[in-house]
């Protein structure tokens, strides 16, 4: 209100005639124009105080000379929302989506109690939402997504009973959902609460939202406790996304929750039961359940005391049952002694007198598995692992199938060799050999690899299984068909044809990488750091969707030990004619080895001094990748007779005020109309490569900024 008063006084001092020519709603809108510091497209250029009313102004709609709508979306307006907008009491629709508005939502805005739609998504608004929002009883659409709003959702929102769309995703909201959330919005058709920090249990009354359509998105939050069975009461066509929360317990098999695949529930380690392969503990008899010990009359319910019943009808006597049990135990002991004797005859201990080992034959070789007599014989703790260990319930192949499969080298590095393996039934996998040494650290390796195996995200390569033995360590991944980002950007030696990536595809890849890193940093169990991000380990899927690979690989290789050889003794090589037909992978190997020395260009400056990895390392690496995707240049740029790293080259171009065309990848000339988007990405990249890690944004903020750039023709 202060801004409005000052503005009016200014007009009074300069031109008394203006006051009489423009109505109060016009002045309120001019106050909004005053709050805008940048209007690059001139969207407010015809907003003049000399007009009688604002009804002819851009973005303004009137009814009977009263302002009912203000709609200026996607015009790159920079500024804040003034409180004066709340004084336009006839305002029904406010749409300022996809601009660059910052600051908080003014409390006075909710004085416009006739508002039916409030659409502000894709800005940089922050702060909390006032409890005054409950005054908007006519509100039907509320979209505040893709901002930086925080705090809890005000309880008064349940008074907005006419809501049809509620989208507050991709903010920083916390706390529980308000009481009565499910019973208030009987007309609600769209609900998206994803990518926030909501906690507590999912309200059971959400099942009352019978008008919902499409996807009910509660994913990427901190909801805990069981899934309320009442969610099954939602319309059966509704898809309920509960991924990446802290939910636990059995998945109710009712209504809309039935016949759903596991993808709706992943990222909740505590969930069990169908459609997940993880059975609930109650489905398996525990050690204290009646079925786990023999039936003895003393343990049964009180017997019928009718003296007319014969002793025979009561079953075996207690002494008879005990005798049977004792004889069984003696028999088992004898079998065990015989078993132990046979094994001691077959294998002698490998180096310690307190160990025994036994042979396992296979493919013309002998392998001995060791365990200590004075410790419990637990395979995962004391026995060398000689079988394929699945990390996913969907794994449908075994070790023998893997070893019999055709395989050829995709790439070699200091960390190991990567093979493309095609199983007999056509399933294609990527298998990495880590080395031949390091036989003493199986438990450490197991803990690390199983933690990595739990990561599930569309932009992270999935680790499906692993194999450990003294002379071999294998990691089995999904095969990603379109090579890596480095090859897609720069090609490779011997490539017959090279199709450059369009800007829309590059932007899609940028967004996907960012989302994968956000998952690692924010939503993975340990808030991981990748630590070695570069185009070589960003793979491209069937539709050019990016998948980050090699996560945790350095640590696994360190645990596994040894140095991999160039030929695998386990994986059956292809026939010579097949190898000739598929000579391209060897070219990829050449590229990988020739660009190894470029890897240091992606490393954050502080990583050379600080031992403990930081998520800001990944942010720096990501910034370099963005610059590489925009410029089309390798991370080492040839400048005259010397080389300069890409970061310093870009900074030099900015200092010398070179035109964008000299920085841009020549293949992007055809996308000249995307200059604004390209410049926006360059700004994001420059923020990521700040020398000081404290000045770099988080990947969550980077991802949110990129998501505001709409992919039009990807």
Look-up: residue for tokens 């077959």? 346
What DSSP designation does 272 have?
E
Burial class of residue 623 (count of CB atoms within 10 Å of its CB; 0-12, 13-18, 19+): buried
Sequence-ordered alpha helix ranges (H) in 227-347: 318-346
Q: Give the integer Cα–Cα distance in Å for 161 and 4.
A: 32
| 150, 172 Cβ separation under 8 angstroms | yes
Long-range pairs, 671-674, Cβ under 8 A, ≥24: 671/502, 671/503, 671/504, 674/503, 674/504
Q: Give the integer Cα–Cα distance in Å for 608 and 97.
A: 42
How would you write 77-141 as a 3-class SS string? Answer: CEEECCHHHHHCCCCCEEECCCCEEEECCCHHHHHCCCCCEEECCCCEEEECCCHHHHHCCCCCE
CA 26 to chain centre: 46
Q: Give the integer Cα–Cα distance in Å for 460 and 464.
A: 12
Q: Give the integer Cα–Cα distance in Å for 700 and 171.
A: 10
Burial class of residue 168 (count of CB atoms within 10 Å of its CB; 0-12, 13-18, 19+): buried
532 is catalytic: yes
Choose among 554, 557, 568: nearest CA to 438: 557
Q: In 572-608, which positions are buried (b, 16+ CB within 10 angstroms) versus exposed (e)?
A: eebeeeeeeeeeebbebbebbeebeebeebbbbeebe
Q: Give the integer Cα–Cα distance in Å for 530 and 603.
A: 11
Strand pairing class (463-469; 389-390): antiparallel
How would you write 392-454 as a 3-class SS string? Answer: CCCCCCCHHHHHHCEEEEEEEECCEEEEEEECCCCCEEEEEEEECCCCCCHHHHHHHHHHHHC
| 83, 1 Cβ separation under 8 angstroms | yes
Look-up: residue for tokens 């016949």? 259
Q: Give the integer Cα–Cα distance in Å for 631 and 490.
A: 11
Neighbours of 158 (CB within 10 A): 19
What DSSP designation does 456 have?
-
Catalytic residue selected from 167, 192, 478, 532: 532
Look-up: residue for tokens 């390392």? 617
What DSSP designation does 249 have?
E
CA atoms within 13 A on the CB side of 531: 16
Interaxial angle between packed helices 553-560 and 442-453, expressed in degrees from 0 to 180 and rounded to the nearest 10: 160
Take residue 180 and report the two structure tokens written for it: 């009565």
How would you write 583-611 as a 3-class SS string? Answer: CHHHHHHHHHHHCHHHHHHHCCHHHHCCC
| 521, 533 Cβ separation under 8 angstroms | no
Burial class of residue 29 (count of CB atoms within 10 Å of its CB; 0-12, 13-18, 19+): buried
* Residues known to be catalytic: 532
């Amino acid at each position: 209100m202060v801004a409005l008063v000052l503005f009016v006084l200014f007009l009074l001092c300069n031109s008394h005639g203006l006051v009489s020519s423009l109505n109060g709603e016009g002045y309120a809108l001019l106050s909004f124009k005053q709050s805008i510091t940048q209007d690059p497209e001139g969207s407010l250029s015809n907003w003049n105080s000399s007009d009688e009313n604002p009804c002819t102004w851009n973005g303004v709609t009137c009814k009977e000379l009263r302002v009912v709508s203000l709609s200026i979306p996607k015009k790159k307006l920079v500024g804040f929302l003034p409180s004066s907008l709340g004084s336009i009491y006839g305002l029904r629709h406010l749409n300022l989506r996809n601009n660059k508005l910052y600051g908080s939502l003014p409390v006075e805005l909710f004085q416009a109690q006739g508002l039916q739609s409030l659409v502000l998504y894709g800005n940089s608004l922050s702060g909390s939402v006032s409890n005054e929002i409950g005054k908007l009883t006519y509100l039907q659409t509320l979209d505040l997504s893709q901002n930086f709003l925080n705090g809890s959702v005000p309880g008064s929102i349940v008074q907005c009973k006419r809501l049809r769309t509620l989208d507050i995703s991709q903010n920083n909201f916390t706390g529980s959902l308000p009481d009565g959330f499910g019973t208030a919005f009987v007309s609600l058709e769209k609900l998206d609460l994803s990518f926030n920090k909501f906690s507590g249990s999912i309200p059971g009354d959400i099942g009352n939202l019978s008008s919902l359509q499409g996807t009910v998105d509660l994913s990427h939050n901190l909801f805990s406790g069981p899934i309320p069975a009442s969610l099954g009461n939602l319309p059966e066509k509704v898809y309920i996304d509960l991924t990446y929360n802290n939910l636990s317990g059995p998945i109710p098999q009712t209504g809309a929750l039935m016949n759903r695949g596991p993808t709706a529930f992943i990222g909740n380690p505590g969930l069990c039961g169908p459609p997940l392969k993880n059975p609930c503990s109650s489905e398996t008899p525990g050690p204290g359940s009646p079925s786990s010990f023999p039936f003895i009359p003393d343990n049964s319910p009180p017997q019928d005391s009718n003296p007319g019943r014969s002793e025979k009808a009561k079953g075996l006597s207690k002494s008879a049952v005990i005798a049977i049990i004792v004889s069984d135990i003696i028999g088992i002991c004898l079998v065990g002694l015989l078993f132990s004797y046979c094994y001691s005859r077959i294998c002698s201990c490998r180096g310690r007198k307190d160990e025994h080992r036994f042979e396992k034959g296979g493919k013309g070789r002998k392998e001995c598995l060791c365990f200590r007599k004075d410790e419990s014989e637990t395979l995962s703790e004391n026995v060398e692992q000689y079988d394929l260990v699945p990390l996913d319930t969907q794994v449908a192949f075994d070790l023998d199938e893997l070893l019999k499969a055709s395989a050829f080298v995709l790439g070699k590095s200091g960390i190991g060799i990567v093979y493309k393996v095609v199983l007999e039934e056509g399933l294609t996998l990527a298998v990495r050999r880590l080395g031949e040494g390091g036989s003493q650290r199986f438990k450490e390796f197991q803990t690390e690899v199983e933690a990595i195996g739990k990561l599930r995200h569309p932009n992270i390569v999935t680790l499906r299984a692993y194999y450990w033995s003294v002379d071999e360590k294998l990691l089995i991944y999904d095969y990603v068909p379109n090579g890596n980002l480095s090859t897609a950007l720069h090609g490779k030696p011997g490539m017959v044809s090279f199709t450059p990536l369009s800007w829309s595809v590059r932007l899609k890849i940028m967004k996907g990488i960012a989302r994968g890193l956000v998952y690692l940093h924010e939503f993975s169990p340990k808030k991981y750091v990748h630590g070695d991000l570069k185009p070589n380990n960003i793979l491209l899927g069937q539709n050019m969707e990016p998948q980050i690979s090699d996560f945790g690989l350095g640590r696994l290789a360190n645990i596994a030990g040894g140095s991999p050889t160039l030929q695998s003794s386990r994986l059956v090589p292809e026939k010579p004619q097949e190898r000739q037909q598929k000579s391209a992978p060897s070219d990829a190997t050449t590229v990988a080895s020739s660009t190894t020395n470029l890897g240091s260009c992606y490393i954050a400056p502080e990583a050379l001094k600080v031992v403990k990895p930081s998520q800001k390392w990944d942010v720096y690496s990501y910034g370099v990748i963005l610059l590489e995707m925009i410029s089309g240049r390798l991370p080492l740029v040839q400048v005259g007779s010397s080389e300069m790293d890409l970061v310093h080259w870009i900074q030099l171009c900015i200092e010398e005020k070179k035109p964008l065309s000299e920085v841009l990848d020549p293949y992007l000339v055809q996308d000249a109309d995307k200059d604004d988007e390209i410049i926006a990405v360059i700004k994001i990249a420059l923020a990521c490569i700040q020398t000081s890690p404290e000045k770099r944004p988080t990947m969550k903020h980077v991802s949110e900024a990129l998501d505001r750039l709409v992919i039009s023709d990807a």
